[in-house]
């Protein structure tokens, strides 16, 4: 299949409207998909410390810079991403970029594009997993990425699960869908099933065990992606994703892995304080969109969490808020549904807290722990949730570090004034440790 010779389906224009106003009570909890691709086998490693901001602007014609850099995800044109997002049923509202990534603010959440990594986070009744085959095909045909190094998919329990369309009608259905595309995945349900449980699916990094490729039915794939023309089955060898070779693993570690620990903190909040939520409603004669978003940032103190970040924030009508921020190689994203009957806010960041929220001279591990706790406290003081969940992923570089890493995570999800901890659960995965904590207001 030659991707460039196929017409792209058109995506609906961005409206900037609040979907909760259109469809009643809104499903705030997001579906989060993160995919790391291995570098193509026949290209030179990309220097991710180089400033690509001039050549990777989503509006820059691809032909103007394709002779300078190997193709990567950041060289994919915005209309291609628009078409992929049409399968999810969301649109692009705004884009900001820095030297390392492009942050797409969506009508229903966010997308972050790095050279070898894509993060897609959508809320409401979006069909996020339907975009998976499209993303894999874009990576293969535009960038030569034949292998997925690692994949993560997660979400908390839905507020209105009965409103979700397939393949999101149940966790079992989501897992089956992902297993149809990957043969090295594992699924987890974390937390009290009577409370807000959290779901995680991830593939193992590299296992060079021999495996057979299983062909996927192209007619079925066409129906799943609403018959998009780029999925023409003519001479299109669609196979189940396999694990990359050891040579690519070595190159991936040299190209894509961060120099320090890879950490992600996510705070999922419900039963938000009504007074705190007033700022997230559109006001008479106030411009919505990006102008309103700046007002929200200033009024709530959100602009003080990362004052040096490049920020893109958006206020919806009649209410609701989304923001993306970029700081060096990290990102953060915030989404708020303020209606009292379904209030919800999420905060996610990959920006090292030890850099942005330093806490004295406490040593390496104690300093990281205190910094993350300071960040969490700052977010809680803005939203004042009645209940919240924290998930904290941290990479482990050496086996000798695992014990201390787990201890650090456990201490991070400790006590927070005004809240009672209901759960604290630790999971050790291949190369990563995860701690889950759930809290209720006292």
The model's pLDDT over 73-118, given as tens digits with 9 standing for 90+, comes to 999 999 999 999 999 999 999 999 999 999 999 999 999 999 999 9
| Predicted local distance difference test score (pLDDT) of residue 224 | 44
pLDDT bucket at 58, cuts 50 / 70 / 90: very low
Which of 20, 110, 322, 343 is catalytic? The answer is 322
**Active site annotation includes 236:** no
| Predicted local distance difference test score (pLDDT) of residue 230 | 37
Q: What is 276-316 written as a DSSP string?
A: HHGGGB--TT---HHHHHHHHHHHHTGGGTSTTSEEEEEE-
Q: What is 318-378 written as a DSSP string?
A: SB-EEEEEEETTEEEEEEEE--GGG-EEEEEE-S-HHHHS--SS--HHHHHHHHHHHHHHH
- Is 394 within 8 Å of 401 (Cβ atoms)? no
Which of 27, 266, 348, 369 is catalytic? The answer is 27
CATH class entry, domain 3-255:
alpha beta
- Find the mean pLDDT for residues 111-138: 95
- Is 26 within 8 Å of 17 (Cβ atoms)? no
Is residue 62 scored above 50 in pLDDT?
Answer: no
**Active site annotation includes 90:** no
| Predicted local distance difference test score (pLDDT) of residue 438 | 95
**Active site annotation includes 335:** yes
**Active site annotation includes 354:** no
3-state class (DSSP) for residue 87: helix
Which of 30, 137, 146, 266 is catalytic? The answer is 30
Q: What are the residues facing 156 on neighbouring strands?
A: 198
**Active site annotation includes 30:** yes
pLDDT tens across 262-313, in order?
899 999 999 999 999 999 999 998 998 999 999 999 999 999 999 999 999 9
Domain ranges in the chain are: 3-255, 263-441
pLDDT bucket at 13, cuts 50 / 70 / 90: very low
| Predicted local distance difference test score (pLDDT) of residue 403 | 76
Which of 168, 181, 335, 357 is catalytic? The answer is 335
CA dist list (Å): 137 to 61, 66, 103, 141, 195: 20, 19, 21, 6, 38
| Predicted local distance difference test score (pLDDT) of residue 56 | 38
**Active site annotation includes 94:** no
- Identify which has the larger pLDDT, 440 or 26: 440
Q: CA 369 to CA 389: how far, in whole Å?
A: 17
Which of 123, 147, 168, 319 is catalytic? The answer is 123
Fold agreement between 3-255 and 263-441 = yes
Most confident segment among 102-116, 197-211, 385-399, 420-434: 102-116
pLDDT tens across 143-194, in order?
999 899 999 999 999 988 998 999 999 999 999 999 999 988 999 999 987 7
- Find the mean pLDDT for residues 316-333: 96
- Find the mean pLDDT for residues 417-432: 91
pLDDT tens across 199-225, in order?
999 998 754 333 333 333 434 444 444
Q: pTM of the prediction?
A: 0.81
pLDDT bucket at 67, cuts 50 / 70 / 90: very low
Q: CA 303 to CA 253: how far, in whole Å?
A: 34
Which of 56, 107, 109, 154 is catalytic? The answer is 109
What kind and span of H or E run contains 432?
strand 432-441
Q: What is the CATH number of domain 263-441?
A: 3.60.90.10
Task: List the single range of 234-238, 348-352, 380-384 with lowest mean pLDDT.
Answer: 234-238
């Amino acid at each position: 299949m030659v991707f460039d010779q196929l017409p792209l389906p058109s995506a609906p224009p961005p409206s900037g409207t609040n979907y909760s106003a259109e469809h009643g009570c809104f499903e705030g909890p997001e579906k989060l998909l993160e995919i790391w691709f291995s570098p193509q086998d026949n290209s030179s490693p990309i220097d991710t410390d180089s400033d690509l901001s001039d050549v990777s602007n989503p509006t820059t014609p691809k032909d103007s810079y394709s002779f300078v850099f190997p193709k990567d995800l950041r060289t994919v044109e915005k209309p291609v991403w628009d078409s992929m997002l049409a399968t999810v049923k969301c649109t692009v509202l705004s884009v900001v970029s820095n030297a390392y990534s492009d942050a797409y603010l969506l009508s229903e959440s966010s997308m972050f594009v790095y050279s070898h990594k894509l993060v897609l986070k959508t809320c409401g009744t979006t069909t996020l997993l339907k975009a998976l085959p499209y993303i894999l095909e874009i990576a293969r045909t535009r960038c030569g990425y034949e292998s997925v190094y690692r994949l993560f998919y997660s979400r908390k329990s839905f507020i209105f699960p009965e409103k979700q369309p397939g393949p999101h009608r149940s966790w079992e259905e989501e897992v089956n869908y992902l297993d149809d595309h990957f043969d090295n995945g594992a699924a987890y349900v974390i937390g009290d099933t009577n409370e807000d449980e959290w779901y995680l699916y991830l593939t193992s990094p590299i296992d060079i065990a021999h495996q057979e490729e299983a062909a996927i039915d192209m007619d079925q794939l066409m129906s799943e992606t609403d018959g998009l023309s780029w999925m023409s089955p003519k001479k299109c060898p669609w196979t189940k994703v396999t694990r990359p070779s050891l040579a690519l693993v070595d190159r991936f570690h040299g190209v894509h892995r961060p120099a320090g620990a890879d950490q992600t903190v996510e705070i999922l909040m419900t039963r938000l304080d009504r007074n705190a939520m007033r700022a997230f409603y559109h006001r008479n004669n106030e411009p919505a969109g990006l102008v309103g978003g700046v007002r929200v940032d200033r009024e709530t103190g959100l602009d003080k969490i990362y004052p040096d970040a490049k920020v893109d924030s958006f206020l919806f009508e009649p209410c609701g808020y989304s923001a993306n921020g970029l700081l060096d190689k990290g990102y953060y994203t915030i989404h708020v549904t303020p209606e009292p009957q379904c209030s919800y806010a999420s905060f996610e960041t990959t920006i090292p807290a030890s850099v942005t929220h330093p806490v004295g001279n406490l040593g390496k591990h104690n300093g990281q722990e205190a910094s993350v706790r300071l960040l969490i406290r700052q977010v809680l003081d803005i939203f004042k949730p009645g209940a919240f969940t924290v998930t904290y992923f941290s990479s482990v570089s050496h086996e000798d570090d695992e014990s201390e890493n787990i201890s650090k995570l456990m201490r991070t999800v400790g006590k927070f004034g005004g809240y009672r901890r209901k759960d604290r659960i630790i999971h050790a995965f291949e190369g990563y440790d995860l701690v889950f904590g759930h809290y209720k207001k006292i």
